[in-house]
Amino acid sequence: MKISSFILKGRSSPVTMHLPSPQASPPCVMMHRFSRRAVLGIIFPALWAFASIARAHVVPNMTVEAEFDSAGGYTLRINVDPRTFLAADPTALPPVPASWYLEQTPEQVTATHEKAQQYLTRSLGLLFDGGKKVTLPVCKIQAIDGADNTPLHADTQEVHLLGTASGRLPSAATTFQVDFAKDANTSLILLHSLAGKTELRPRVVFPGETSLPFRLQTTPSAPVPSEKAPPSKTHEIFLVITVSVVCIVVIVGWLLLSHYRHHHRAHRKAGERRM
């Protein structure tokens, strides 16, 4: 035990005063310190994870509108986010601003369109009646506003690319499907329309999947029975004349037959009398 000496006023001899030495912390104090360390150990990793999530960006998706007309043609309108072919991980990039496209030279725009076409050709395959996969036709590509799908304008914040492909359906095709590649880097929202009638519920397709078959033919409606045209007056006159002629022939024939029988009987009776 440590001893400290103090000189008190008014006393000639020193007075010795014993002070207690520091004692061990009670268990409750130790638990409090431990709990505080544990909480800090949980909070800091959580804050780090939240910051990492905040740095990540929304996963882009691709939208395909497949329109089929009654004449056997089809048109595909494909809305694609440039991040899907600019990076292996599209979420690592922020939304692409309009300035990225508007500030490109004509040569750079051509190269961008070629990259988009290569990505679409690699990612989308067409299936008719579940047969062999058909390559996507060459698309006409243009830049659009990513928010409202209109052409680029002064207020555009995010740019997307719209690819339009057209073609003819195979003869007697009854179903249509999209084969979505595993390395597409995004999900697909598929909308169908047939002869101007749009499918109410869109279909979601993930990389490596094939969309459900969409029927290209509708059930024909039952033919409406046509009303019979009323008979014409000429037909009525002809019918009356025909019936009249038949009646006259019957009557004349009956009269001739009666006359013949009467004459035959009279002739037979005269012969009997002579004998």
Interatomic CA distance for residues 133 and 128, integer angstroms: 8
Average pLDDT over residues 191-218: 93
Q: Are residues 35 and 139 in the same domain?
A: no
Q: Are residues 78 and 104 in the same domain?
A: yes
Q: Say whether 231 sits in a helix, a strand or coil.
A: coil
Q: How far is CA 177 from CA 65, 116, 209, in A?
A: 12, 21, 10
Q: Are residues 89 and 151 in the same domain?
A: yes
Encode pLDDT of 50-98 as tens digits: 444 444 457 789 999 999 999 999 999 999 999 999 999 999 999 999 9
Q: Are residues 41 and 106 in the same domain?
A: no
> Which of 61-70, 153-162, 215-224 shows the lowest per-residue confidence on average (mean pLDDT)?
215-224
Any domain includes 5:
no
Interatomic CA distance for residues 108 and 69, integer angstroms: 36
Q: Name the residue range of residue 40's domain.
A: 25-55
Of 173, 198, 215, which residue constitutes the final position of a domain?
215
DSSP class of residue 90? Answer: G
Q: Say whether 154 sits in a helix, a strand or coil.
A: coil
- pLDDT of residue 192 exceeding 90, the answer is yes
Q: Are residues 110 and 188 in the same domain?
A: yes
Strand 187-194 and strand 61-68: pairing? parallel
Give me the number of domains the chain comprises.
2
Share of the chain above pLDDT 90, in %: 54
Q: Are residues 44 and 114 in the same domain?
A: no
pLDDT tier at 262, thresholds 50, 70, 90: low
Residue in 144, 190, 138 with CA at minimum distance from that of residue 165: 138
Let me know: does 159 contact 146? Beta carbons within 8 Å: yes
Compute how many other C-beta atoms are within 10 angstroms of the C-beta atom of residue 77: 17
Q: Are residues 189 and 148 in the same domain?
A: yes
- pLDDT of residue 46 exceeding 70, the answer is no
Q: Are residues 179 and 97 in the same domain?
A: yes
Encode pLDDT of 97-139 as tens digits: 999 999 999 999 999 999 999 999 999 999 999 999 999 999 9
Interatomic CA distance for residues 122 and 112, integer angstroms: 15
